[in-house]
Amino acid sequence: MSGKGAPELSVRNASDLRVAVIAAQWHEKVMDGLVNGALRALHDLGIDEPTLIRVPGSFELPVAAKALAGRGYDAVVALGVVIRGGTPHFDYVCQGVTQGLTQVSVETGVPVGFGVLTCDTEEQALDRAGIEGSHEDKGHEAVTAAVVTAATLRSVSEPWH
Ligand code: DLZ
Distant-in-sequence, close-in-space partners of 115: CB < 8 Å, separation ≥ 6:
34, 38, 77, 78, 79, 80, 138, 139, 141, 142, 143
Relative to the CA of 55, which ligand 1 atom is closest? 19
Mind telling me the catalytic residues? 89
C-alpha of 18 from chain center: 14
User: What are the sequence ranges of the domains in the chain?
Assistant: 19-153
Q: Do 51 and 107 meet the contact criterion of CB atoms below 8 Å apart?
A: no
Nearest CA to ligand 1 atom 18: 57
Per-residue tens of pLDDT for the chain, all 161 residues:
567 777 787 777 789 999 999 999 999 999 999 999 999 999 999 998 899 999 999 999 999 999 999 999 999 999 999 999 867 889 999 999 999 999 999 999 999 999 999 999 999 999 999 999 999 999 999 999 999 999 999 988 766 65
Q: What topology is assigned to 19-153 in CATH? A: Rossmann fold (3.40.50)
CA of 40 from ligand 1 middle (Å) equals: 26
Residues in the annotated binding site for (2S)-2-hydroxy-3-oxobutyl phosphate? 86-87, 128
CA of 57 from ligand 1 middle (Å) equals: 5
